[in-house]
Every structure is written in C-alpha cells, then in structure tokens.
Amino acid sequence: MALLFKIPALFAHCFDQFTQTRFILFCASVFFGSVIFNWMLLHFRRSSRSFSLGRLLIVTADKSENDALQVGGLPLWLISLLSLGTVFIMYPYLLNPGQQSILIAAGLSWMGVFLYGSLDDRFEIRPVVKLTAQLLLAGVVCLTAAMVISPGYSAIVFLIMTIFSAVILNGANLIDGLDTLSFKVSAVIYFGYLLLAANIACLPALFLTAACFFVMCGFYFFNREPSVIHLGEVGVSCLGFSYIILSILIYDGYSKLNPPLYALTKALLPVVLLLVEVGVSFLRRLLAGKSPFRGDKLHVHHILHRRYGFSASTASSLIAGSYLIFLSISCYIMEPFTSLIAFCCLTLFSTMWSFAIGASSWFRGQIRINIVDAFLVKEEVKILPASSLRSFRIIVNDLKDRS
C-alpha cells in the first residue's frame, strides 16, 4: 500500500523540522502525563473527603457495575490542549497561517467541551441542550475553517462541515459503550488519519494524532476490563472534536490537489464507522417502528457482548479489528481507483457487517415502519384514531380514607 510506505517520509520530514529527540520526548511526555493524571484521579477518589479538588473532579458513573469513575476525559482534554498549545506557541513554523487560525478556533471549542461535558457527566443534561452546545462549538471551528479553506463558498462549506461534525460527535458517543472500545476504535481512526497525513506531509495532523493517541494509551491501563475509569462526556466529545479537526486539516491539504468531493471523501474516510453507526442506529429504529432519537442497548457492541457472550474486551477487539481490515482495504483500492469509490466501499462493508450481526436482534422477523409515530408522538403517549374504536368505558375507583 503506497500510503503506508509514505509514513516514514512523514516522520523524516517531522524530524527535519522538529528533531527526532524532541518528538520522542513529546510523545513520552504525553503518555506518562496521561498515566499519572489518571492515577491521581483514582487517588483523589480515595481521599476526596480531604481534598476539595477531589470533590470537584470525582464523578462516578451511575451505570457502572464496579463504581468506575467517569472522568477519563479530563486527561484527554487537558493534555491534548496543552500539547497543541505547546506546538502552536513554541514551534509556529510548523503551521501555515490557515492552520494557525483553525487551531485557534479549535482551542476555543476544546475549552467549551469541558464546560458542557462536565455538566453532562455530573447532572446528565437534556439531549437537546447537549446537541445545541455541540453545534455551537463545532460551528466555531467549521466557520473558521470554511473561511480559510473556501472563502468564495464559505456558507455552503460551513453548512456541510457542521452537519458532518454533529454526526461525528454523536457517532463517537454511540461507539463508547464497552471497556476499551473507544481506545481501540480511536486507534484505528488515528491510524487512518496518519496514513492520509503522510501523503501530504501534514505535520499538524501528525502532532494532534500523536497527542490524542498517546493520551488514550495511558488511559487504556485504567479502562481495561473491568475498567476503573470511563471517558465520560468530556472524553467522548474530545475524541469527536479531534476527528473533526483532523478531517478539516486533511481536507485543507487535499483540496489543493483534488476536487472538493474527492478531498471530502478522503477527509471522512477514517470516521466512516462513526457515520455508519449513526445512520444504522437511525434506520433500524425507524424500521422497528421506534423513535430514531431514543437510546437503546441494541448497538452492535452490545449485541456481541450480551447476546453472543463475548467479553467487553473481545467484542471491542472484534469491532476495531474488522474496521481496521475494512479501512485498510479501502485505502488500498483508493490508489488505483478514487477516494470516492474507497469511501463507498468502506461504507458498504461497515453497514453490511452491522446488519449481519444485529438484524436478528433488531427486527426479530418483523419490520414495521411508522414514521408519524416515530417523529411526532411521544413514546409514553399513544394517540388512537376514533375509527379504530368500537366502544370504550371509563371506570372510576372510589378510594375511601381507611384511617
């Protein structure tokens, strides 16, 4: 695969600009910083009554069977933000002016992620509020990127970017359902972006990929089954925003070489799994006659874990491993053909794999589409047409005071 052989060239270019020793120290600092930060969070839980900081940081996952903390996103959020800030401030020559503007907007949105993510982890805010916050924060990055990448068509580009950003953020949320699943899937996605960045020598994408990947490597030791720390909304949103920023950086690089549609499909290729997860979840609920916006435990990873009896770690490895195979095949066929064909093939592979595993659990032999009820009627309220009733009666029970 031609893209794979270009990775050494990307690192060689990085070492020319940044030196090999500094890059290794950068990666090692991120990894050990993540391990130490997560260990400190566990320490604060044990002594949270004595430390005010511990009481502020400690959030326990309500759905955890072993009282795990829901604060794994804090190291990912802080260390990734500091890593980008370090590169931006100390080594600005690695970035062109457009990339600097995009990363400044990304930093502002990254700080906003901590605010709404922390509120959701602690109080579980309403979905409409969370979606609004996601759109606003993603809009800051997408608006800046649209004006940098395509100033003549910034409105259309902004709209397209915002829609895909919302889908990516929610896809990252849906895929975070088992121990180590987010780590393994994110590792595959970052590998995909590394391949694409190598072809255009995009150093900002390399540093963001390295920062987020090594933070997640440190988190892995605390998220192994049975996990003691979960990512939480802060961590899941940070993963989603890292994918968005990487997509923008990759699109910016390829748009100078390819038509817009081909550049877009290359930028979105590594996150096809997230797009498929949202699309399949939406479609299967409609086909089952349910509201597409109502959560459930019928995602592929839940089915592998609960119905087929795989452990959380094994189910996560199956999902990430299969996606790595599909992504590798798609990157391979992208060279002789086009990125559009590769994108369509990866979408088809991922969708067929999801339906092959989950169809029997989703529909149980019945497919009933009820779009009106799914979109317009609350689940706890059922409206019956008068023509469907022959008669009815009302029974009032007389409750007497027995005191």
**In-domain check, residue 213:** yes
Given a contact cutoff of 8 angstroms between Cβ atoms, the answer to whether 125 and 116 are in contact is: yes
Question: What is the Cα Rg of the chain in Å?
Answer: 23
Please tell me the total count of domains within the chain: 1
User: How many C-beta atoms lie closer than 10 Å to residue 243's C-beta?
Assistant: 27
**In-domain check, residue 396:** no
**Cα–Cα separations (whole angstroms), residue 23 to 6, 27, 215, 219:** 18, 6, 15, 20
**In-domain check, residue 398:** no
Q: Which helix (H) or strand (E) holds 65?
A: none
What is the residue-wise DSSP string for 364-381? TT-----HHHHHHS-TT-
- pLDDT given at position 21: 84
Q: Which domain holds residue 180?
A: 2-385
- pLDDT given at position 346: 95
Range list of H helices, 47-180: 52-57, 73-90, 97-123, 127-149, 154-174
**In-domain check, residue 286:** yes
**In-domain check, residue 397:** no
- pLDDT given at position 323: 95
Given a contact cutoff of 8 angstroms between Cβ atoms, the answer to whether 58 and 41 are in contact is: yes
pTM: 0.86
- pLDDT given at position 92: 82
**In-domain check, residue 43:** yes
Taking the C-alpha atoms of residue 278 and residue 269, their distance in angstroms, rounded to an integer, is 15
- pLDDT given at position 277: 93
Residues 6+ positions from 44 with CB-CB distance below 8 Å: 51, 53, 54, 57, 58
Q: Which residue has the tokens 């933070």?
A: 215
- pLDDT given at position 188: 96
- pLDDT given at position 399: 47
Taking the C-alpha atoms of residue 31 and residue 52, their distance in angstroms, rounded to an integer, is 27
- pLDDT given at position 401: 46
Low-confidence ranges of the chain (pLDDT < 70): 1-5, 45-67, 364-403
**In-domain check, residue 95:** yes
- pLDDT given at position 55: 54
**In-domain check, residue 210:** yes
Residues 6+ positions from 22 with CB-CB distance below 8 Å: none
- pLDDT given at position 19: 76
- pLDDT given at position 318: 94
Taking the C-alpha atoms of residue 349 and residue 328, their distance in angstroms, rounded to an integer, is 12
Q: What is the total residue count of the chain? A: 403
